[in-house]
Structure 1
Amino acid sequence: MLRYNIRGENIEVTQAIREYVEKKVGKIEKYFHDVPEANAHVNLKTYSDKTAKVEVTVPLPYIVLRAEETSPDLYGSVDLVVDKLERQMRKYKTKINRKARTTGLVEQPTYEFDNLGDEAEGEEDFDAAIVRTKRLSLKPMGADEAVLQMDMLGHNFFIFEDAETNGTSIVYKRKDGKYGLIETD
Protein backbone atom coordinates (compact mmCIF):
# COMPACT_ATOMS: atom_id res chain seq x y z
CA MET A 1 0.00 0.00 0.00
CA LEU A 2 1.42 3.34 -1.02
CA ARG A 3 1.42 6.38 1.22
CA TYR A 4 1.81 9.64 -0.66
CA ASN A 5 4.05 12.59 0.11
CA ILE A 6 3.04 15.16 -2.50
CA ARG A 7 4.59 18.60 -2.54
CA GLY A 8 4.57 21.42 -5.02
CA GLU A 9 7.11 24.02 -5.99
CA ASN A 10 5.64 27.17 -7.51
CA ILE A 11 2.24 25.47 -7.45
CA GLU A 12 -0.43 24.87 -4.85
CA VAL A 13 -1.31 21.18 -4.58
CA THR A 14 -5.09 21.30 -4.77
CA GLN A 15 -7.37 18.43 -3.81
CA ALA A 16 -8.03 17.74 -7.52
CA ILE A 17 -4.30 17.49 -8.28
CA ARG A 18 -3.73 15.30 -5.21
CA GLU A 19 -6.55 12.93 -6.20
CA TYR A 20 -5.31 12.69 -9.80
CA VAL A 21 -1.74 11.92 -8.71
CA GLU A 22 -2.88 9.31 -6.17
CA LYS A 23 -5.19 7.69 -8.76
CA LYS A 24 -2.54 7.52 -11.48
CA VAL A 25 0.50 6.59 -9.36
CA GLY A 26 -1.69 4.17 -7.42
CA LYS A 27 -2.03 2.11 -10.62
CA ILE A 28 1.46 0.71 -10.09
CA GLU A 29 0.28 -1.02 -6.91
CA LYS A 30 -1.58 -3.62 -8.98
CA TYR A 31 1.74 -4.84 -10.40
CA PHE A 32 3.00 -5.94 -7.00
CA HIS A 33 2.11 -8.90 -4.87
CA ASP A 34 3.03 -8.93 -1.16
CA VAL A 35 4.65 -5.51 -1.19
CA PRO A 36 5.32 -3.92 2.18
CA GLU A 37 3.93 -0.46 2.79
CA ALA A 38 5.92 2.14 0.91
CA ASN A 39 6.05 5.90 0.49
CA ALA A 40 5.60 7.52 -2.89
CA HIS A 41 7.43 10.84 -2.94
CA VAL A 42 5.89 13.09 -5.59
CA ASN A 43 7.34 16.49 -6.41
CA LEU A 44 5.41 18.81 -8.71
CA LYS A 45 7.12 21.87 -10.19
CA THR A 46 5.93 24.54 -12.55
CA TYR A 47 8.24 26.87 -14.43
CA SER A 48 7.87 30.34 -15.86
CA ASP A 49 7.87 28.93 -19.40
CA LYS A 50 4.54 27.21 -18.60
CA THR A 51 6.02 23.71 -18.34
CA ALA A 52 5.39 21.30 -15.50
CA LYS A 53 7.80 18.74 -14.10
CA VAL A 54 6.71 15.70 -12.10
CA GLU A 55 9.19 13.57 -10.14
CA VAL A 56 8.12 10.31 -8.46
CA THR A 57 10.34 8.21 -6.23
CA VAL A 58 9.17 4.97 -4.61
CA PRO A 59 11.92 3.43 -2.46
CA LEU A 60 11.33 -0.28 -1.88
CA PRO A 61 13.68 -2.89 -0.46
CA TYR A 62 16.13 -3.96 -3.21
CA ILE A 63 14.77 -1.55 -5.82
CA VAL A 64 14.04 2.15 -6.10
CA LEU A 65 11.51 3.19 -8.70
CA ARG A 66 12.17 6.75 -9.88
CA ALA A 67 11.00 8.74 -12.85
CA GLU A 68 10.65 12.35 -13.87
CA GLU A 69 9.01 14.03 -16.84
CA THR A 70 8.50 17.58 -18.04
CA SER A 71 5.71 18.63 -20.40
CA PRO A 72 3.45 21.64 -21.04
CA ASP A 73 0.66 19.97 -19.03
CA LEU A 74 0.93 18.89 -15.37
CA TYR A 75 -1.55 16.06 -15.82
CA GLY A 76 0.26 14.90 -18.95
CA SER A 77 3.53 14.82 -17.00
CA VAL A 78 1.89 12.60 -14.38
CA ASP A 79 0.73 10.19 -17.10
CA LEU A 80 4.20 10.09 -18.67
CA VAL A 81 5.84 9.39 -15.29
CA VAL A 82 3.50 6.47 -14.59
CA ASP A 83 4.31 5.02 -18.04
CA LYS A 84 8.02 5.32 -17.27
CA LEU A 85 7.59 3.59 -13.88
CA GLU A 86 5.75 0.71 -15.56
CA ARG A 87 8.59 0.31 -18.08
CA GLN A 88 11.09 0.20 -15.20
CA MET A 89 9.11 -2.57 -13.53
CA ARG A 90 9.00 -4.57 -16.76
CA LYS A 91 12.74 -4.18 -17.22
CA TYR A 92 13.38 -5.22 -13.60
CA LYS A 93 11.13 -8.27 -13.94
CA THR A 94 12.87 -9.31 -17.18
CA LYS A 95 16.27 -8.94 -15.55
CA ILE A 96 15.27 -11.01 -12.51
CA ASN A 97 13.69 -13.72 -14.68
CA ARG A 98 16.82 -13.99 -16.84
CA LYS A 99 19.03 -14.17 -13.76
CA ALA A 100 16.83 -16.90 -12.30
CA ARG A 101 16.97 -18.90 -15.55
CA THR A 102 20.75 -18.66 -15.93
CA THR A 103 21.75 -19.23 -12.29
CA GLY A 104 18.82 -21.33 -11.19
CA LEU A 105 18.13 -19.07 -8.23
CA VAL A 106 17.65 -15.46 -7.34
CA GLU A 107 20.05 -14.08 -4.74
CA GLN A 108 17.80 -11.41 -3.31
CA PRO A 109 14.13 -11.47 -2.44
CA THR A 110 12.12 -9.98 -5.27
CA TYR A 111 8.62 -8.77 -5.71
CA GLU A 112 6.26 -10.88 -7.66
CA PHE A 113 4.95 -8.76 -10.48
CA ASP A 114 1.39 -9.38 -11.56
CA ASN A 115 -0.11 -8.40 -14.92
CA LEU A 116 3.21 -7.91 -16.73
CA GLY A 117 3.63 -11.17 -18.66
CA ASP A 118 6.85 -13.21 -18.83
CA GLU A 119 8.87 -10.78 -20.92
CA ALA A 120 8.43 -7.07 -21.27
CA GLU A 121 6.70 -6.66 -24.59
CA GLY A 122 8.23 -4.07 -26.86
CA GLU A 123 11.09 -3.44 -24.44
CA GLU A 124 14.66 -3.55 -25.57
CA ASP A 125 16.77 -6.29 -24.05
CA PHE A 126 18.56 -4.98 -21.03
CA ASP A 127 22.20 -5.98 -21.26
CA ALA A 128 24.44 -4.52 -18.60
CA ALA A 129 27.65 -5.58 -20.28
CA ILE A 130 30.58 -4.13 -18.36
CA VAL A 131 33.11 -3.10 -20.98
CA ARG A 132 35.75 -1.57 -18.75
CA THR A 133 36.90 -1.92 -15.16
CA LYS A 134 38.95 0.66 -13.28
CA ARG A 135 40.63 0.34 -9.91
CA LEU A 136 41.38 3.37 -7.85
CA SER A 137 42.65 4.23 -4.43
CA LEU A 138 40.58 6.81 -2.63
CA LYS A 139 42.44 9.82 -1.34
CA PRO A 140 41.21 11.78 1.67
CA MET A 141 40.02 15.25 0.63
CA GLY A 142 37.19 17.71 1.05
CA ALA A 143 34.21 18.03 -1.26
CA ASP A 144 35.56 21.27 -2.78
CA GLU A 145 38.84 19.60 -3.74
CA ALA A 146 36.91 16.62 -5.17
CA VAL A 147 34.90 18.99 -7.40
CA LEU A 148 38.16 20.54 -8.64
CA GLN A 149 39.60 17.08 -9.37
CA MET A 150 36.43 16.09 -11.20
CA ASP A 151 36.50 19.23 -13.34
CA MET A 152 40.20 18.79 -14.13
CA LEU A 153 39.54 15.22 -15.30
CA GLY A 154 36.51 16.30 -17.31
CA HIS A 155 34.23 13.73 -15.63
CA ASN A 156 30.63 14.05 -14.47
CA PHE A 157 31.34 12.44 -11.09
CA PHE A 158 34.24 11.78 -8.74
CA ILE A 159 34.59 9.25 -5.90
CA PHE A 160 36.72 10.20 -2.89
CA GLU A 161 37.30 9.56 0.80
CA ASP A 162 35.84 12.42 2.81
CA ALA A 163 38.61 13.79 5.04
CA GLU A 164 36.10 14.83 7.73
CA THR A 165 34.02 11.65 7.98
CA ASN A 166 36.49 9.07 6.62
CA GLY A 167 33.58 7.71 4.57
CA THR A 168 33.34 7.22 0.83
CA SER A 169 31.57 10.10 -0.96
CA ILE A 170 30.72 11.04 -4.51
CA VAL A 171 30.45 14.49 -6.07
CA TYR A 172 28.61 14.83 -9.36
CA LYS A 173 27.63 17.48 -11.87
CA ARG A 174 23.90 18.07 -12.08
CA LYS A 175 21.92 18.86 -15.24
CA ASP A 176 21.53 22.44 -14.05
CA GLY A 177 25.35 22.86 -13.96
CA LYS A 178 25.54 22.83 -10.16
CA TYR A 179 27.12 20.08 -8.07
CA GLY A 180 25.71 17.35 -5.86
CA LEU A 181 27.27 15.33 -3.05
CA ILE A 182 26.41 11.75 -2.10
CA GLU A 183 27.64 10.61 1.29
CA THR A 184 27.64 6.97 2.37
CA ASP A 185 26.85 5.62 5.82
Structure 2
Amino acid sequence: MKFIVSGKNIEVTEALKEKAIKKVGKLEKFFNDDTEAHITMSVQKNRQIVEVTIPFKGGLLRAQEENEDMYASIDKVVDSLEGQLRRYKTKISKKYHESGLKFDDTNIEEHEEETDEFKVVRSKKFPIKPMTVEEAILQMNMLGHSFFMFLNADTMEANVVYRRKDGNYGLIEPDN
Protein backbone atom coordinates (compact mmCIF):
# COMPACT_ATOMS: atom_id res chain seq x y z
CA MET A 1 0.00 0.00 0.00
CA LYS A 2 1.26 3.46 -0.85
CA PHE A 3 0.64 6.36 1.51
CA ILE A 4 0.23 10.00 0.51
CA VAL A 5 0.21 12.25 3.58
CA SER A 6 -0.63 15.94 3.24
CA GLY A 7 -1.63 18.81 5.46
CA LYS A 8 -3.96 21.80 5.24
CA ASN A 9 -3.23 24.70 7.57
CA ILE A 10 -0.69 22.49 9.34
CA GLU A 11 2.93 21.47 8.93
CA VAL A 12 2.84 17.67 9.05
CA THR A 13 5.71 16.61 11.28
CA GLU A 14 7.64 13.40 10.72
CA ALA A 15 6.15 11.99 13.95
CA LEU A 16 2.57 12.69 12.77
CA LYS A 17 3.33 11.21 9.36
CA GLU A 18 4.84 8.04 10.86
CA LYS A 19 1.92 7.63 13.30
CA ALA A 20 -0.65 8.01 10.49
CA ILE A 21 1.15 5.58 8.19
CA LYS A 22 1.59 3.04 11.00
CA LYS A 23 -2.10 3.20 12.01
CA VAL A 24 -3.59 3.23 8.47
CA GLY A 25 -1.03 0.57 7.52
CA LYS A 26 -3.01 -1.88 9.66
CA LEU A 27 -5.56 -1.92 6.81
CA GLU A 28 -2.89 -2.87 4.26
CA LYS A 29 -3.83 -6.55 4.38
CA PHE A 30 -7.20 -5.74 2.79
CA PHE A 31 -5.81 -4.06 -0.34
CA ASN A 32 -3.38 -4.67 -3.20
CA ASP A 33 0.17 -3.40 -2.88
CA ASP A 34 -0.36 -0.64 -5.45
CA THR A 35 -3.44 0.82 -3.72
CA GLU A 36 -2.95 4.40 -2.52
CA ALA A 37 -4.16 5.70 0.83
CA HIS A 38 -4.58 9.49 0.88
CA ILE A 39 -4.23 10.87 4.41
CA THR A 40 -5.05 14.55 4.85
CA MET A 41 -4.57 16.33 8.17
CA SER A 42 -6.02 19.78 8.74
CA VAL A 43 -6.57 22.28 11.51
CA GLN A 44 -9.65 24.51 11.81
CA LYS A 45 -9.65 26.64 14.96
CA ASN A 46 -9.29 24.09 17.79
CA ARG A 47 -10.37 21.12 15.65
CA GLN A 48 -7.74 18.62 14.49
CA ILE A 49 -9.20 16.79 11.47
CA VAL A 50 -7.91 13.64 9.74
CA GLU A 51 -9.44 12.41 6.48
CA VAL A 52 -8.43 9.11 4.89
CA THR A 53 -9.49 8.18 1.36
CA ILE A 54 -8.63 4.81 -0.17
CA PRO A 55 -9.80 4.50 -3.78
CA PHE A 56 -9.92 0.98 -5.22
CA LYS A 57 -11.34 -0.69 -8.29
CA GLY A 58 -15.10 -0.29 -8.12
CA GLY A 59 -15.27 1.70 -4.91
CA LEU A 60 -13.95 4.14 -2.40
CA LEU A 61 -13.31 3.80 1.33
CA ARG A 62 -13.41 7.13 3.16
CA ALA A 63 -13.58 8.38 6.71
CA GLN A 64 -13.09 11.71 8.45
CA GLU A 65 -12.74 12.29 12.17
CA GLU A 66 -11.92 15.27 14.34
CA ASN A 67 -10.72 15.82 17.87
CA GLU A 68 -8.79 18.39 19.87
CA ASP A 69 -5.70 16.17 19.51
CA MET A 70 -4.37 15.10 16.08
CA TYR A 71 -3.15 11.73 17.39
CA ALA A 72 -6.63 10.98 18.77
CA SER A 73 -8.12 11.96 15.39
CA ILE A 74 -5.82 9.46 13.67
CA ASP A 75 -6.91 6.69 16.05
CA LYS A 76 -10.60 7.54 15.56
CA VAL A 77 -10.38 7.60 11.75
CA VAL A 78 -8.68 4.19 11.65
CA ASP A 79 -11.36 2.77 13.97
CA SER A 80 -14.01 4.18 11.64
CA LEU A 81 -12.38 2.60 8.57
CA GLU A 82 -12.05 -0.75 10.34
CA GLY A 83 -15.74 -0.63 11.23
CA GLN A 84 -16.67 0.05 7.60
CA LEU A 85 -14.52 -2.84 6.43
CA ARG A 86 -16.06 -5.21 8.98
CA ARG A 87 -19.61 -4.25 7.97
CA TYR A 88 -19.07 -4.52 4.25
CA LYS A 89 -16.36 -7.17 3.85
CA THR A 90 -18.78 -9.99 3.11
CA LYS A 91 -20.81 -8.06 0.55
CA ILE A 92 -17.76 -6.66 -1.20
CA SER A 93 -15.99 -10.03 -1.19
CA LYS A 94 -19.00 -11.66 -2.83
CA LYS A 95 -19.16 -8.90 -5.43
CA TYR A 96 -15.55 -9.37 -6.47
CA HIS A 97 -15.44 -13.16 -5.90
CA GLU A 98 -12.31 -12.93 -3.81
CA SER A 99 -11.44 -14.24 -0.39
CA GLY A 100 -10.28 -10.82 0.86
CA LEU A 101 -10.59 -7.20 -0.09
CA LYS A 102 -7.89 -6.94 -2.76
CA PHE A 103 -8.49 -4.10 -5.19
CA ASP A 104 -6.65 -1.99 -7.73
CA ASP A 105 -6.48 1.73 -7.14
CA THR A 106 -8.22 4.47 -9.14
CA ASN A 107 -7.56 8.16 -9.24
CA ILE A 108 -9.68 10.82 -7.64
CA GLU A 109 -9.24 14.40 -8.63
CA GLU A 110 -10.39 17.27 -6.47
CA HIS A 111 -10.37 20.92 -7.44
CA GLU A 112 -12.14 24.15 -6.62
CA GLU A 113 -14.17 26.21 -9.10
CA GLU A 114 -15.96 29.54 -8.95
CA THR A 115 -18.86 30.89 -11.00
CA ASP A 116 -20.43 34.35 -11.21
CA GLU A 117 -23.84 33.51 -9.72
CA PHE A 118 -23.14 30.53 -7.47
CA LYS A 119 -19.93 29.68 -5.69
CA VAL A 120 -18.86 26.06 -6.10
CA VAL A 121 -16.43 25.44 -3.25
CA ARG A 122 -15.51 21.86 -4.11
CA SER A 123 -15.80 19.64 -7.13
CA LYS A 124 -14.92 15.97 -7.39
CA LYS A 125 -14.41 13.73 -10.39
CA PHE A 126 -14.50 9.98 -10.14
CA PRO A 127 -14.96 7.13 -12.58
CA ILE A 128 -18.57 5.98 -12.88
CA LYS A 129 -18.81 2.23 -13.24
CA PRO A 130 -22.00 0.30 -13.99
CA MET A 131 -23.51 -1.15 -10.81
CA THR A 132 -26.82 -2.32 -9.47
CA VAL A 133 -28.97 -0.18 -7.18
CA GLU A 134 -28.01 -2.40 -4.23
CA GLU A 135 -24.30 -1.94 -4.95
CA ALA A 136 -24.79 1.83 -5.18
CA ILE A 137 -26.54 1.90 -1.79
CA LEU A 138 -23.69 -0.18 -0.33
CA GLN A 139 -21.13 2.26 -1.76
CA MET A 140 -23.11 5.27 -0.46
CA ASN A 141 -23.18 3.77 3.04
CA MET A 142 -19.47 2.97 2.90
CA LEU A 143 -18.72 6.60 2.10
CA GLY A 144 -21.07 7.83 4.81
CA HIS A 145 -22.93 10.06 2.35
CA SER A 146 -26.65 10.71 2.07
CA PHE A 147 -26.70 10.30 -1.74
CA PHE A 148 -24.66 8.57 -4.47
CA MET A 149 -24.60 9.00 -8.25
CA PHE A 150 -23.92 5.90 -10.36
CA LEU A 151 -24.41 4.29 -13.77
CA ASN A 152 -27.29 1.82 -13.50
CA ALA A 153 -26.10 -1.53 -14.89
CA ASP A 154 -29.65 -2.45 -15.98
CA THR A 155 -30.52 0.75 -17.89
CA MET A 156 -27.00 2.16 -18.53
CA GLU A 157 -28.28 5.60 -17.42
CA ALA A 158 -27.08 7.90 -14.67
CA ASN A 159 -29.09 7.39 -11.46
CA VAL A 160 -28.92 8.75 -7.91
CA VAL A 161 -29.73 6.82 -4.75
CA TYR A 162 -30.38 8.73 -1.53
CA ARG A 163 -31.21 8.07 2.11
CA ARG A 164 -34.67 9.27 3.11
CA LYS A 165 -35.51 10.81 6.49
CA ASP A 166 -37.53 7.69 7.36
CA GLY A 167 -34.38 5.53 7.00
CA ASN A 168 -35.38 3.98 3.67
CA TYR A 169 -33.73 4.68 0.32
CA GLY A 170 -34.89 6.56 -2.76
CA LEU A 171 -33.85 6.26 -6.42
CA ILE A 172 -33.80 9.11 -8.94
CA GLU A 173 -33.91 8.07 -12.60
CA PRO A 174 -34.05 10.23 -15.76
CA ASP A 175 -37.44 10.56 -17.46
CA ASN A 176 -36.92 10.14 -21.20
**Same fold flag (TM > 0.5):** yes
Identity of aligned residues (%): 38
In structure 2, what is the Cα distance between the partners aligned to 1:4 and 1:93?
22
Q: Does 1:59 align with 2:80?
A: no
SS in 2 for 1:90: helix
1:80 corresponds to: 76
Question: 1:9, CA displacement in angstroms?
Answer: 1.0
Q: TM-score, normalised by structure 2?
A: 0.56
In structure 2, what is the Cα distance between the partners aligned to 1:88 and 1:111?
17
Preserved CA contact (<8 Å) 2:92 2:101: no
SS in 2 for 1:136: coil
1:43 corresponds to: 40
Q: Does 1:136 align with 2:124?
A: no
Question: 1:88, CA displacement in angstroms?
Answer: 1.1
1:170 corresponds to: none
1:3 corresponds to: 2
2:65 corresponds to: 69
Question: 1:110, CA displacement in angstroms?
Answer: 4.2
1:93 corresponds to: 89
Preserved CA contact (<8 Å) 1:62 1:110: no
| Structure with max Cα Rg | 1
Preserved CA contact (<8 Å) 2:48 2:67: yes
Q: 1:66 to 1:111 in 2, by over 3 A?
A: farther
Equivalent residues, number: 114
Aligned letter for 2:40? Answer: N
Q: TM-score, normalised by structure 1?
A: 0.53
List alignment gaps of at least 5 residues for structure 1. 101-105, 115-125, 139-185
RMSD: 2.8
Matches within 5 A, 1:5-24: 5-24=4-23
In structure 1, what is the Cα distance between the partners aligned to 2:39 and 2:171?
36
Question: 1:44, CA displacement in angstroms?
Answer: 0.5
Aligned letter for 1:43? Answer: T
Question: 1:132, CA displacement in angstroms?
Answer: 4.5
